[in-house]
Structure 1
């Protein structure tokens, strides 16, 4: 089975509950983490620590890519850009300090999260955080795709995108949605973990791309719902 989870935003409990509830077996199943592991939630450091450990334990089956929140974190630590602090960075710094009293281990995990690749590709899908530029080769994508607005990404023709990816749909997150849909080319799997909408409290989703079903964990209600990926 192929699974995808993205925009965890510090929800270590939700991530663990979903993986356990679904019964993901990382000795044979594939799991891709789509970036934005940090900020907003209570345990950003815990998520980074766990994902890094999973990748090291299952290097053939677990892959993580960078999100724009990790990108902001790298700007802060590399050049003092304070944009990150206004997007949950202060709480994330505290989380890392608490989880890693040893500065060397703390910096090791921060550097690891900031150096993750822009994309991952397997035999069926291309995985990115926010979008994809069809006018550039896959291995030549600009880091601006970490910030790509959903309106811009979904305005690109399906044929153009599939031509650029050699027929592979693009799995992504970044922009919170209420439900997960697949338009034949793109599937946005971000249900807005640790954010709120007018309609309902959002959640964290674990998507089974093999069977096109997903589970969403709603922390406020402490429950997990199973849903089918819609088609549009």
Structure 2
């Protein structure tokens, strides 16, 4: 099985419940975490600790990507850039200070998150946090793609994107959606965890790419729903 989870935003409880619900075997199944593990929620330290442990233990099957929130975090600690503080960083600072008492341990997790790749590719898909730049080779994409607006990404002609990826669809997140659509080229899997920017209740999604369905943890109701991915 192949799975994708993105934009967890500090919901360790929902993340673990979904992984258990799907009965993922990390020694056999593949899962890609699409970035924005942190911020907004209160459990960012546990999310990063858990995902790093999975990556370290199951390096062949578990992969993690950087998102724009991990980049903002690194910029705050490296350059004192306050952008992060105004985008959910305060909750992460509290979580890190509580969970990572040792400063060197805390900084090690921050450096790990910042050093994650922007793109992962397997035999079927290309995975990234927000989008791809059509005018850059796949292995030379700039960090601007971490911030790419969905409107810009979805304005790129389908054939042009497939030429860039060698006919592989792109699985991504970054922009919250209430329903996951697949246009045979792009699949946005951000269900709006810990945010009010989607219509209805916020949730965290675990996408089963093999069966083209998504398990959604409804954060307000604290329950899991199974939904089909809508192909258009």
Name the TM tier (shorter chain). over 0.9
Runs of 4+ aligned structure 1 residues displaced above 4 Å come to none
Q: Does residue 128 in structure 1 map to residue 125 in structure 2?
A: no
Distance 1:67 1:90 in 2: 17
TM-score (ref. length: structure 2): 0.98
Secondary structure of 1:207's partner? strand
Aligned residues: 232
Counterpart position of 1:176? 176
Counterpart position of 1:99? 99
Contact 2:191 2:202 in 1 (8 A): yes
Superposed counterparts of 1:164-203, under 5 Å: 164-197=164-197, 199-203=199-203
Contact 2:176 2:198 in 1 (8 A): no
Secondary structure of 1:116's partner? coil
Contact 2:207 2:213 in 1 (8 A): yes
TM-score (ref. length: structure 1): 0.98
Q: Deviations 1:14-45 (Å, cap 9, x if unpaired)?
A: 00000001101101000100000000001011
Contact 2:176 2:197 in 1 (8 A): no
CA drift at 1:143: 0.5
Unmatched 5+ stretches in structure 2: none
Superposed counterparts of 1:67-106, under 5 Å: 67-106=67-106
Q: Does residue 144 in structure 1 map to residue 153 in structure 2?
A: no
Distance 1:129 1:28 in 2: 24
Distance 1:173 1:214 in 2: 14
Distance 2:139 2:88 in 1: 30
What RMSD in Å do the two structures reach over aligned CA positions?
0.8
Distance 1:83 1:198 in 2: 22
Distance 1:57 1:230 in 2: 34
Distance 2:87 2:196 in 1: 15
